[in-house]
């Protein structure tokens, strides 16, 4: 099997020759720059200028030599972001400042690992009119996908599965970023009209993006990635009732729009944390792939997820815990941990291996390779 055949078979809940492997096809299945540089050195690969595919999270875009050496089945397409508001980071002495196309000001200390939002542009909004009059980015300019068709054609010719990331973070997450997390949570309870105005605007921009991007690339893309973060370590950020009232109908509208634009494309839905209680709702509105499968969170044990949802959901992730085991375990502990996760999630297909979210900067290359070697050993059907 080539990589694309392998992935599509797994997405159809069939067993391919081995478990498909994803690294770096999206901004939630990637690797931090620091860990990536150490991994290249460990593998004896030549030094190179590392391309960053996500400035905020400081993620590396893995080079083709790494992807081939590690037998990665996926290749990612990263749409461009606007430079209208000056996205190049500014050196302010002890830190870098970065104002993105949404107007959010982000800061990273020199030597830091991530950017953090320090200015929420809609923090002073008081009505839906303020939301409508805000200077929103252009979501459907064709410049966003410039050059991506050629990349997709090259990936297809290599037999790789092609993944396309979306415009921005999820509806709920963008509401928090634009308004401020605390204020947006208050809005959902006390000023629902304002909160829903923000959500509806983000939904509109997302739909416009996907209609444009899939109109240009839909015939070459196998999987698209969108989502929203609803989980914490122990439960959800909003109650299932509030999710069903506010977010579920809007997510359905988004998913329906994606499938109208490209009926054959597979949708990967990303949501961190404990989301077991809303998995049936996600299935109901058309979600068939769940990422990152946060196996350390409450209710997200691999065995139980596979038992209860394995017929309806593909688990894209859950291969290795990135909170404790991968950064802090011994290589033999990583190996045993990965073996157990594969044994729980792989039977019958419906499993794509990747770590639980991005490989962080503190993951030693020895542990990364212990994870990968365990996949090679235990991931064959």
Residue 371 has pLDDT above 90, yes or no: yes
pLDDT of residue 83: 52
What angle is formed at CA 109 by the lines to CA 106 and CA 112, rounded to 5 degrees?
105
Beta bridge partners, 290, equal 269, 315
pLDDT of residue 88: 74
pLDDT of residue 87: 64
Q: What is the mean pLDDT of residues 336-345?
A: 98
Ordered by start, the domain boundaries in the chain are: 3-83+122-378
Place of tokens 């409508």: 132
Contact status, residue 319 vs residue 355, Cβ threshold 8 Å: yes
Contact status, residue 266 vs residue 289, Cβ threshold 8 Å: yes
Q: What is the mean pLDDT of residues 51-66?
A: 94
Q: CB-based burial of residue 296 (10 Å sphere; 0-12 exposed, 13-18 middle, 19+ buried)?
A: middle
Tell me: the pLDDT tens digits for 241-293?
Answer: 999 999 999 999 999 999 999 999 999 999 999 999 999 999 999 999 999 99
Residue 149 has pLDDT above 80, yes or no: yes
Instruction: Tell me the pLDDT of the chain averaged across its residues.
Output: 96
pLDDT of residue 86: 47
CATH code of domain 3-83+122-378: 3.20.20.210
Q: What is the mean pLDDT of residues 27-38?
A: 98
Tell me 139's DSSP state: S
pLDDT of residue 303: 98
pLDDT of residue 84: 40
Residue 82 has pLDDT above 80, yes or no: no
Residues with Cβ within 8 Å of 169's Cβ and at least 6 positions away in sequence, in order, are 177, 228, 229
pLDDT of residue 85: 42
Tell me: the pLDDT tens digits for 194-238?
Answer: 999 999 999 999 999 999 999 999 999 999 999 999 999 999 999
pTM over 0.75: yes
pLDDT of residue 284: 98
Place of tokens 């190179």: 48
Closest CA to 244 of 267, 271, 278: 278
Contact status, residue 19 vs residue 10, Cβ threshold 8 Å: yes
């Amino acid at each position: 099997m080539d990589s694309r055949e392998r992935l599509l078979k797994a997405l159809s809940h069939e067993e391919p020759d081995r478990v498909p492997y994803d690294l770096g096809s999206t901004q939630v299945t990637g690797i931090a720059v620091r860990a990536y540089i150490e991994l290249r050195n460990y593998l004896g690969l030549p030094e190179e200028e590392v391309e960053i595919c996500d400035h905020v999270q400081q993620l590396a875009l893995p080079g083709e030599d790494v992807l081939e050496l590690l037998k990665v089945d996926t290749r990612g397409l990263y749409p461009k972001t606007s430079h209208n508001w000056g996205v190049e980071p500014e050196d302010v002495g002890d830190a870098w400042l970065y104002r993105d196309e949404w107007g959010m000001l982000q800061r990273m200390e020199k030597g830091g690992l991530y950017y953090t939002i320090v200015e929420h542009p809609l923090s002073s909004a008081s009505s839906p009119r303020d939301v409508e009059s805000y200077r929103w980015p252009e979501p459907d300019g064709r410049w966003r996908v410039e050059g991506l068709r050629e990349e997709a054609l090259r990936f297809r010719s290599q037999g790789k599965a092609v993944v396309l990331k979306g415009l921005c973070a999820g509806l709920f997450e963008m509401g928090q970023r634009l308004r401020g997390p605390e204020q947006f949570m208050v809005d959902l309870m006390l000023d629902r009209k304002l909160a829903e105005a923000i959500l509806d605007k983000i939904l509109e921009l997302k739909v416009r993006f996907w209609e444009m991007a899939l109109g240009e690339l839909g015939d070459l893309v196998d999987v698209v990635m969108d989502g929203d973060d609803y989980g914490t370590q122990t439960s959800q950020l909003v109650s299932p009732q509030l999710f069903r009232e506010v977010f579920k109908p809007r997510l359905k509208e988004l998913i329906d729009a994606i499938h109208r634009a490209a009926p054959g494309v597979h949708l990967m839905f990303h949501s961190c944390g404990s989301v077991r209680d809303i998995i049936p709702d996600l299935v109901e509105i058309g979600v068939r792939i769940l990422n990152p499968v946060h196996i350390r969170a409450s209710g997200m044990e691999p065995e139980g997820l596979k038992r209860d949802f394995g017929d309806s959901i593909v688990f894209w992730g859950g291969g290795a815990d990135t909170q404790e085991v991968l950064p802090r375990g011994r290589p033999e502990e990583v190996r045993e941990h990965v073996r157990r996760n594969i044994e729980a999630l792989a039977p019958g297909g419906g499993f794509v291996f990747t770590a639980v979210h991005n490989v962080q900067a503190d993951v030693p290359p020895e542990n990364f390779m212990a994870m990968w070697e365990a996949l090679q050993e235990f991931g064959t059907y």
